[in-house]
Amino acid sequence: MYSISRNNGYLMVKFIDDIDFSMIEAAIHHVTMLREYADTNDIWLIGNNRVAIHLDEIETLENEFRCRCPRDATRAKTAVVVDAGLTGAIIELLVNGLQKKVAFEVEIFRTLSDAKSWMGINEISVA
């Protein structure tokens, strides 16, 4: 399962459970259908959830993402936050393929704060 939220200047795709091909595909379809997607950067928060996808499904997901991105998009960045390990390695393969197929930057981060910093998101913390 996942949730999509609209935040101050970005969209957050947050995975709540372990992830499989169908869930990633559904999230791609869902987020790219949002009206603001074309003009809004996003963060995909995977964290320590396990990803169970096969190597041959990675290229399918890359193509799905590329085909569903609006052609007139002005968005510039997608950050993916995932822990190191096997899941991180699988997601790195997916991101490496996306970097060659989409017109915006896609990068992997280990922490949400690093991803937000890269995207230029300055959130005010209350003392």
pLDDT tens by residue, 30-70: 999 999 999 999 999 999 999 999 999 999 999 999 999 88
The CATH number covering residue 39 comes to 3.30.750.24
Tell me if 17 is assigned to some domain: yes
Tell me if 65 is assigned to some domain: yes
What is the residue-wise DSSP string for 57-71? HHHHHHHHHHHHS-T
The CA distance from 119 to 78, in Å, is: 8
Q: What is the pTM of this model?
A: 0.92
Residue with tokens 């993916």: 80
Tell me if 90 is assigned to some domain: yes
Tokens at 39, concatenated: 């003009």
* pLDDT at residue 76 in the model: 95
Tell me if 124 is assigned to some domain: no
The CA distance from 64 to 24, in Å, is: 10
pLDDT surpassing 60 at residue 127: no
Tell me if 26 is assigned to some domain: yes
What is the residue-wise DSSP string for 6-71? EETTEEEEEE-S-EEHHHHHHHHHHHHHSGGGGG-EEEEEEET--EE--HHHHHHHHHHHHHHS-T
Q: Within its chain, how far is the Cα of 105 from the centroid?
A: 11
Tell me if 59 is assigned to some domain: yes
Tell me if 127 is assigned to some domain: no
Q: Which domain holds residue 106?
A: 2-119
pLDDT tens by residue, 64-105: 999 998 888 899 999 999 999 999 999 999 999 999 999 999
Tell me if 105 is assigned to some domain: yes
How many angstroms separate the most distant Cα atoms in the chain? 48
Q: How many domains does the chain have?
A: 1
The CA distance from 20 to 13, in Å, is: 15
